[in-house]
Structure 1
Amino acid sequence: MYILLVDDEPLELEQLEYLMKPHFPYWTFFKATDAITAITIAKSYKISLAFLDIQMPGKDGLSLGMELKAMYDLDIIMVTAFQSFEYAQRSIRIGVNDYITKPVIEKELVQILQKYHKWNAKSDAIQQALHIIHEKYAEKIPLATVAAKIHLSPTYLSRKFLEEMNIGFADYLNSYRLEMAKRMLINEPEASISAVADHTGFNSQHYFSSLFRKNFGLTPSAYRLQIVDSTEVKPV
């Protein structure tokens, strides 16, 4: 997986990579000290996860995040010394996945990154399969189609995927689609549940809603309402 680290302080970038590399040895890290360099990297490589410093000279991290999101789907973790309602609102609107505060503590960083362990594939073949899933999740992409694209037999890809990822191909695909659906529920509040299901690769609204509730304990509508309520300004 390609990981983008953006901070105007080079030492902060080195520290982030130093803390993550032992836990994710198969990730490829790119570092940028400004938004222009970050965008150039993102155009050359399909970034899966970006760590963005909120406060930088020129274009700030939230503005950069919006530009990256306009290019393609990726996860974003904001790195900040500040916690404010304004930042939280803007972050939710652009689909930021998490926050981590400076100075970065290894234990907290690793805890936030637990869900990304499933991206820590060893072989090039599985890395390629993951790239296809992350780019084409909204389409019909059966195992046989992905296997053909990376010149493997479906049987071998199925076995290798389970071996490296500790999850089956279909289960991983559905899990990724659900994460994208959560993002769409937040970022597109006017979209119907049926539209969300259709745009994230599910064959039916019923199946999508059932799977969503099984995984997250809430219906898609209840999840959306919960997020909206949590971002409303509470009276002092």
Structure 2
Amino acid sequence: MITCFIAEDEQILRRGLILTIDWDKMGCKVIGEAANGAEALMLIKKLKPDIVITDIRMPTMDGLSLIEQCLGFYYPEFIIISGYNDFSYAKKAIRLGVSDYLCKPIDEEELKQTVERVCKKIIKNREELPPNIPVKIITANDIPFAQFKEYSNEYNTGKNKYILKAIRFIEDNYGRNITIADVCRKLIISESYLTKLFKEYTGYSFIEYLTYIRIKNACILLNNDDIKIYAAAEKVGYKDQRYFSALFKKYTGLTPKQFKERQYTVEKASDI
């Protein structure tokens, strides 16, 4: 069951969203509500919903500020509802990775379609998250990180040549939306064969290794105080900041914001 939280200061609209929408039919459950941003933030921290539907204009804290605060510790999907069809709001919402921006008066069918689409995205992301991976300490500051093998030219023989070339392709292209199919076209081998080789010689799947390379390079980028989290995510191949943040925490034990605030220093790849 996918959980949902509604933050809306207009009581009639808030109760209407909760009571008139058939949430069960969409595989959802409303687990909380709030009439202002500060209360919403407190409850989101406690309840950890999968989806947050929030108005932009609310007492104590507006919806965009609420989203920014949430992204420091938790990464639900956000749907904004607003009486303001203002491009500046929409632009900032897009930068924050909001799933959709709906204008009042709310069209019930449009909201249902939006929630259904977001639910499918959540389910897909859950399926794609890599399994738990053994961790080790890689810096003087004791950051836990995925334990991977990285291969050097001493293995440049036989079948390992394919692995070396595949890893080199990943390291050169991790910032793009690459798949194992792209690597196979480059190496002129089948996906099933490369999948088998990757598991045999590295102990990990292609997507696990790609994710590792991306997160490691994200750590390096986030040590730069000037770079924003969403910009670091895009540079390492993730358009969805929430998905990036969830992966980052899974691999490092820290949110990107925590990582930046504590100013950890990641060792060079050759030292990992």
Band the TM-score falls in, shorter-chain normalisation: 0.5 to 0.7
Q: Gaps (5+ residues) in structure 2?
A: 134-206, 219-227, 248-272
Query: 1:188 and 2:230 equivalent?
Result: yes
| Cα distance between partner residues in 2 of 1:33 and 1:87 | 20
Kept in 1, the 8 Å contact 2:38–2:60? The answer is no
Give the number of the structure whose residues are more often helix, by fraction: 1
Q: Which stretch shows the higher mean deviation, 49-58 or 26-35? A: 26-35
Kept in 2, the 8 Å contact 1:95–1:187? The answer is no
Q: Which residue of 2 aligns with 1:8?
A: 9
Given the two structures, how large is their TM-score scaled by the length of structure 1?
Answer: 0.53
Give the C-alpha shift of residue 190 in structure 1. Answer: 4.8
Kept in 2, the 8 Å contact 1:34–1:56? The answer is yes
**What pairs with 1:210-229 in structure 2 (closer than 5 Å)?**
none
Instruction: Pick one of 111, 117, 127 that aligns with 1:115.
Output: 117
SS of the equivalent of 2:21 reads helix
Kept in 1, the 8 Å contact 2:10–2:35? The answer is yes
Give the C-alpha shift of residue 3 in structure 1. Answer: 0.9
**What pairs with 1:80-159 in structure 2 (closer than 5 Å)?**
80-118=82-120, 133=126, 137=129, 139-141=130-132
Alpha-carbon distance change, 91 to 119 in structure 1, aligned in 2, over 3 angstroms: closer
Kept in 1, the 8 Å contact 2:9–2:58? The answer is yes
Give the C-alpha shift of residue 69 in structure 1. Answer: 1.5
Which has the greater radius of gyration? 2
Give the C-alpha shift of residue 116 in structure 1. Answer: 3.6
Q: Which residue of 1 aligns with 2:77?
A: 75
| Cα distance between partner residues in 2 of 1:104 and 1:59 | 22
Kept in 2, the 8 Å contact 1:2–1:45? The answer is no
| Cα distance between partner residues in 2 of 1:82 and 1:99 | 10
| Cα distance between partner residues in 2 of 1:97 and 1:32 | 20
Given the two structures, how large is their TM-score scaled by the length of structure 2?
Answer: 0.46
Number of aligned positions between the proteins: 151
Between the aligned residues of both structures, percent identity stands at 23
Instruction: Pick one of 21, 36, 39 that aligns with 1:37.
Output: 39
| Cα distance between partner residues in 2 of 1:64 and 1:14 | 20
| Cα distance between partner residues in 2 of 1:192 and 1:90 | 16
Deviations 1:177-234 (A, max 9, x none): 9xxx9xx9x963355654649x676xxxxxxxxxxxxxxxxxxxxxxxxxxxxxxxxx
Give the C-alpha shift of residue 10 in structure 1. Answer: 1.3
SS of the equivalent of 1:56 reads coil
Alpha-carbon distance change, 63 to 195 in structure 1, aligned in 2, over 3 angstroms: same
Alpha-carbon distance change, 62 to 28 in structure 1, aligned in 2, over 3 angstroms: same
SS of the equivalent of 1:50 reads strand
Query: 1:62 and 2:64 equivalent?
Result: yes
| Cα distance between partner residues in 2 of 1:53 and 1:26 | 19
Kept in 2, the 8 Å contact 1:94–1:187? The answer is no
Cα RMSD after superposing both structures? 3.8
| Cα distance between partner residues in 2 of 1:23 and 1:56 | 29
| Cα distance between partner residues in 2 of 1:51 and 1:141 | 30
| Cα distance between partner residues in 2 of 1:119 and 1:189 | 22
| Cα distance between partner residues in 1 of 2:99 and 2:58 | 20
